[in-house]
Amino acid sequence: MKLDSDRTQTVKRFFGNLKIFADGADKQGLLEMNDHPLISGMTTNPSLMRKAGVTNYREFCKDILQSVTRKPISFEVFADDLAQMESQALEIATWGKNIYVKIPSITTEGRSTAPLIAKLSKAGIQLNVTAVFTTAQSIEIAQALRGGAPSYLSVFAGRIADTGLDPMAFVSASVEICSALEPKIEVLWASTREIYNLLQAKQSGCSIITVPNDILKKLNGIGKTPLEMCFDTVKTFKADSEASKFTL
């Protein structure tokens, strides 16, 4: 993602205090985002790591942490029972002060992780509670995080939208719930699908949005007029046609 200084300022004005976290597991991409002034933090997960070809979890994370030392970064546990989740979370948390340990809201058997979340948070471990889909989950998780360490509550707005539902009301409700129960919880808009989601996240009151690198590249369009985008589009058609050497 390359933005000149004017475009960077345009993006900042457009989204205000909304913090943008880069979401991925490609080392080069993560390090590039670590140096970018628009990016406030980073997140990853086991699925992204697998897609990026990561085979050694601990080695990958510690390698990234050699460079990412200031901005917050979230690494997720991959166990599926509470005891092993706790063990993994305790180790991951020791790797750096900027780490937020990602804990899914439930196990694959549907068991709530709220008791573990409460235990870890009260022990001073910064958490990113991930895969939050319902208002009931937001209430339960916010209650579990009360009085604990600073934390993120990641609402999977994009996947909620994939079901045909508008995620805006749910996200806004989650913001209100967390503000009332524990101000140290920052609500995070996750599973971003398009640049417009950044505006939705801002309007819903979110503190943070996670954005994949391929979507971050589209920030260059912020502030352009529809006609400018039209010219960019037809120029792309022309360049691709010429590169393909099409003839009729």
Known catalytic residues are 102
Helices 196-204 & 168-181, crossing angle to 10 degrees? 40
Q: How far is CA 112 from the centre of its chain?
A: 21
Q: Which residue is it, tokens 């690494």?
A: 75
Radius of gyration of the chain (CA): 19
Q: Residue 138 to residues 112, 163, 174, 180, 229: CA-CA distances in angstroms? A: 12, 19, 6, 12, 39
Residues 6+ apart with CB under 8 A from 124: 148, 149
Q: Integer distance in angstroms from the first to the last C-alpha of the chain?
A: 36
Phi/psi for 39 (5° steps) reads -95, 120
Distance, in Å, from the CA atom of 130 to the CA atom of 147, rounded to the nearest integer, reads 19
